[in-house]
Amino acid sequence: DTAVSQTPKYLVTQMGNDKSIKCEQNLGHDTMYWYKQDSKKFLKIMFSYNNKELIINETVPNRFSPKSPDKAHLNLHINSLELGDSAVYFCASSRGVDSNQPQHFGDGTRLSIL
Protein backbone atom coordinates (compact mmCIF):
# COMPACT_ATOMS: atom_id res chain seq x y z
CA ASP A 1 0.00 0.00 0.00
CA THR A 2 1.31 3.42 -0.95
CA ALA A 3 1.79 5.59 2.14
CA VAL A 4 1.83 9.01 0.44
CA SER A 5 0.25 9.08 -3.00
CA GLN A 6 0.09 11.94 -5.47
CA THR A 7 -1.93 12.34 -8.65
CA PRO A 8 -1.22 12.90 -11.41
CA LYS A 9 2.35 11.62 -11.79
CA TYR A 10 2.86 13.76 -14.90
CA LEU A 11 1.12 16.99 -15.84
CA VAL A 12 1.78 18.78 -19.12
CA THR A 13 -0.14 21.97 -19.75
CA GLN A 14 -0.08 25.36 -21.41
CA MET A 15 1.08 28.58 -19.83
CA GLY A 16 -1.80 30.49 -18.26
CA ASN A 17 -3.85 27.44 -17.34
CA ASP A 18 -5.03 26.48 -13.84
CA LYS A 19 -4.21 23.01 -12.52
CA SER A 20 -4.42 20.97 -9.32
CA ILE A 21 -2.29 18.23 -7.81
CA LYS A 22 -3.79 15.89 -5.24
CA CYS A 23 -2.08 14.24 -2.29
CA GLU A 24 -3.33 11.63 0.13
CA GLN A 25 -1.58 9.87 3.01
CA ASN A 26 -2.78 6.73 4.77
CA LEU A 27 -0.27 6.88 7.62
CA GLY A 28 -2.58 8.66 10.06
CA HIS A 29 -0.19 11.63 10.17
CA ASP A 30 -1.29 15.07 11.31
CA THR A 31 1.12 17.20 9.30
CA MET A 32 1.47 17.43 5.53
CA TYR A 33 3.84 19.39 3.30
CA TRP A 34 4.45 20.47 -0.25
CA TYR A 35 8.00 20.70 -1.59
CA LYS A 36 9.27 21.87 -4.99
CA GLN A 37 12.28 20.25 -6.70
CA ASP A 38 13.79 22.31 -9.50
CA SER A 39 15.75 21.17 -12.54
CA LYS A 40 18.97 21.13 -10.48
CA LYS A 41 17.29 18.79 -7.99
CA PHE A 42 17.17 21.41 -5.24
CA LEU A 43 14.31 20.63 -2.81
CA LYS A 44 12.55 23.53 -1.09
CA ILE A 45 9.60 23.65 1.30
CA MET A 46 6.51 25.49 0.04
CA PHE A 47 3.74 24.82 2.57
CA SER A 48 3.05 22.91 5.75
CA TYR A 49 -0.36 22.03 7.19
CA ASN A 50 -1.12 20.59 10.61
CA ASN A 51 -4.62 19.21 11.20
CA LYS A 52 -5.93 21.14 8.19
CA GLU A 53 -4.41 24.44 9.32
CA LEU A 54 -1.63 26.29 7.50
CA ILE A 55 1.60 26.35 9.51
CA ILE A 56 4.24 27.38 6.98
CA ASN A 57 3.86 29.45 3.89
CA GLU A 58 7.27 30.13 2.43
CA THR A 59 7.87 32.80 -0.16
CA VAL A 60 5.60 31.28 -2.76
CA PRO A 61 3.52 33.29 -5.28
CA ASN A 62 -0.11 33.57 -4.24
CA ARG A 63 -0.97 31.76 -7.49
CA PHE A 64 -0.25 28.65 -5.41
CA SER A 65 -3.03 27.77 -3.00
CA PRO A 66 -3.00 24.64 -0.85
CA LYS A 67 -6.27 23.15 0.30
CA SER A 68 -6.68 20.57 3.06
CA PRO A 69 -10.22 19.10 3.16
CA ASP A 70 -9.17 16.73 5.97
CA LYS A 71 -5.92 15.79 7.63
CA ALA A 72 -5.30 12.91 5.20
CA HIS A 73 -5.38 15.16 2.13
CA LEU A 74 -3.44 18.22 1.01
CA ASN A 75 -4.09 19.40 -2.52
CA LEU A 76 -2.16 22.07 -4.40
CA HIS A 77 -3.96 24.38 -6.81
CA ILE A 78 -1.94 26.58 -9.15
CA ASN A 79 -3.48 29.48 -11.08
CA SER A 80 -2.14 31.14 -14.21
CA LEU A 81 0.74 28.71 -14.69
CA GLU A 82 4.08 30.18 -15.76
CA LEU A 83 7.12 28.62 -17.43
CA GLY A 84 9.07 28.87 -14.16
CA ASP A 85 6.54 26.62 -12.44
CA SER A 86 7.95 23.63 -14.33
CA ALA A 87 9.36 21.36 -11.63
CA VAL A 88 8.65 18.21 -9.68
CA TYR A 89 6.29 18.78 -6.75
CA PHE A 90 6.48 16.44 -3.77
CA CYS A 91 3.95 15.91 -1.05
CA ALA A 92 5.13 14.64 2.35
CA SER A 93 3.64 13.87 5.75
CA SER A 94 4.81 13.42 9.33
CA ARG A 95 3.36 12.56 12.70
CA GLY A 96 2.49 15.56 14.91
CA VAL A 97 4.06 19.00 14.95
CA ASP A 98 7.32 18.01 16.61
CA SER A 99 10.18 18.94 14.37
CA ASN A 100 12.03 15.67 14.88
CA GLN A 101 9.41 13.42 13.31
CA PRO A 102 10.41 11.68 10.07
CA GLN A 103 8.80 13.02 6.91
CA HIS A 104 7.62 10.54 4.31
CA PHE A 105 7.48 11.61 0.68
CA GLY A 106 5.30 10.71 -2.26
CA ASP A 107 6.81 9.92 -5.67
CA GLY A 108 6.20 13.40 -7.03
CA THR A 109 4.24 15.13 -9.78
CA ARG A 110 6.31 16.30 -12.73
CA LEU A 111 4.76 19.52 -14.00
CA SER A 112 5.80 20.72 -17.45
CA ILE A 113 4.60 24.07 -18.79
CA LEU A 114 4.59 24.50 -22.56
Partner 1 sequence: GENVEQHPSTLSVQEGDSAVIKCTYSDSASNYFPWYKQELGKGPQLIIDIRSNVGEKKDQRIAVTLNKTAKHFSLHITETQPEDSAVYFCAAIGGGADGLTFGKGTHLIIQP
Should residue 87 be labelled a site residue for partner 1 when binding is judged by CB under 8 A? no
- The β-bridge partners of 75 are 67
> What mask, x for binding partner 1 by CB under 8 A, covers residues 66 to 85?
--------------------
Tell me if 32 sits within 8 A of 45, measured CB to CB: no
Among 55, 61, 80, 82, binds partner 1 (CB under 8 A): 55
Should residue 12 be labelled a site residue for partner 1 when binding is judged by CB under 8 A? no
Should residue 27 be labelled a site residue for partner 1 when binding is judged by CB under 8 A? no
Span near partner 1 by CB under 8 A; candidates 18-26, 35-43, 60-68, 79-87: 35-43
Shortest Cβ 28–partner 1 spacing (Å): 16
Cβ distance to partner 1 smaller for residue 77 or 104: 104
Sign of CA pseudo-dihedral 73, 94, 45, 6: negative
Q: Is 66 exposed, middle or buried (0-12, 13-18, 19+ CB in 10 A)?
A: buried
Tell me if 44 sits within 8 A of 92, measured CB to CB: no
Cβ distance to partner 1 smaller for residue 2 or 17: 2
**Residue 103 per-residue DSSP state:** P
